[in-house]
Structure 1
Amino acid sequence: MNLTGIIGYTITPFTENNNVDFKQLETVIDTLLDAKVDAIAALGSAGEAAYLSEDEWESVASHTVSYVAGKVPVVVGIAELTTAQAVKRAKYAHKIGADVVMLSPFSYYKLNEDEIFLHYKSVSDATPLPIMIYNNPATCGVDMSPQFMLKMVDGIENARWIKESTGDIQRMHKIYKLSKGSVPFFNGCNHMALEALNAGAVGWCTIAPCLIGDQPKQLFDAIKNSNNEKARELFYQQYEFLEFIVQSGLAAAVKAGMSAQGIQVGHPRKPLLPLTPLKQEKLKSMLIDLGCFS
Structure 2
Amino acid sequence: MQWKGVMPAMTTAFDAELKVDHAFIGRHARWLRDNGCAGMVCLGSLGEAATLTFDEKISVIQTVAGAVSPQIPVVAAISALSTAEAVALAQSVSRAGAQGLMILPPYVYQGDWREMKAHVAAILAATELPAMLYNNPVAYGTDFTPEQIQELAREFPSLAAVKESSTDVRRVTAIRALTGDRLAIFVGVDDAIVEGIDAGAVGWIAGLVNAFPRESVDLFNFATEGRKQEAFELYRWFLPLLRMDTVPKFVQLIKQVQQEAGLGSARVRPPRLQLEGPELAAAKADYAQAAAHRPAVAKRSTALPR
Range into which the TM-score falls when normalised by the shorter chain = over 0.9
Residue 267 of structure 1: aligned partner: 267
Q: Does the residue aligned with 1:80 lie in a helix, a strand or coil?
A: coil
Residue 198 of structure 1: aligned partner: 198
State the 1:182 CA deviation: 3.6
1:239-289 deviations in Å (ceiling 9; x for gaps):
111013433633212221222223443511111121223134224314413
Residue 278 of structure 1: aligned partner: 281
Give yes or no for contact 1:16–1:266 (8 Å, CA) kept in 2: no
1:74-124 deviations in Å (ceiling 9; x for gaps):
110111121111110110111112111000112433311111111111111
Residue 55 of structure 1: aligned partner: 55
Code of the residue aligned with 2:81 in structure 1: it is: L
Residue 15 of structure 1: aligned partner: 15
1:185-214 deviations in Å (ceiling 9; x for gaps):
100011001110110001111022221231
Code of the residue aligned with 1:282 in structure 2: it is: A
Closer, same or farther: CA 72–290 of 1 in aligned 2, 3 Å: farther
Aligned-partner Cα distance in 1 for 2:263–2:58: 24
1:160 aligns to 2:160 (yes or no): yes
Give yes or no for contact 1:39–1:73 (8 Å, CA) kept in 2: yes
Give the TM-score normalised by structure 2: 0.90
Residue 87 of structure 1: aligned partner: 87
Q: Does the residue aligned with 2:211 lie in a helix, a strand or coil?
A: helix
Residue 176 of structure 1: aligned partner: 176
Residue 109 of structure 1: aligned partner: 109
Residue 28 of structure 1: aligned partner: 28
Give the TM-score normalised by structure 1: 0.93
Residue 3 of structure 1: aligned partner: 3
Closer, same or farther: CA 109–211 of 1 in aligned 2, 3 Å: closer
Give yes or no for contact 1:187–1:203 (8 Å, CA) kept in 2: yes
Residue 246 of structure 2: aligned partner: 246
Give yes or no for contact 1:248–1:275 (8 Å, CA) kept in 2: no
Closer, same or farther: CA 287–211 of 1 in aligned 2, 3 Å: farther
Aligned-partner Cα distance in 2 for 1:17–1:289: 33
Closer, same or farther: CA 187–173 of 1 in aligned 2, 3 Å: same
Give yes or no for contact 1:75–1:102 (8 Å, CA) kept in 2: yes
Closer, same or farther: CA 219–155 of 1 in aligned 2, 3 Å: same
Q: Does the residue aligned with 1:214 lie in a helix, a strand or coil?
A: helix
Code of the residue aligned with 2:202 in structure 1: it is: V
Code of the residue aligned with 1:61 in structure 2: it is: I
Give yes or no for contact 1:259–1:265 (8 Å, CA) kept in 2: yes
Give yes or no for contact 1:5–1:220 (8 Å, CA) kept in 2: yes
Give yes or no for contact 1:238–1:290 (8 Å, CA) kept in 2: no
Give yes or no for contact 2:187–2:205 (8 Å, CA) kept in 1: yes
Identity of aligned residues (%): 27
1:160-190 deviations in Å (ceiling 9; x for gaps):
1111001011111101122234422100011
User: Unaligned stretches of 5+ in structure 2?
Assistant: 295-299
Q: Which deviates further from its counterpart, 269-278 or 195-204?
A: 269-278
Code of the residue aligned with 1:244 in structure 2: it is: M
Q: Does the residue aligned with 1:105 lie in a helix, a strand or coil?
A: coil
Tell me the matched-pair count: 294
User: Unaligned stretches of 5+ in structure 1?
Assistant: none
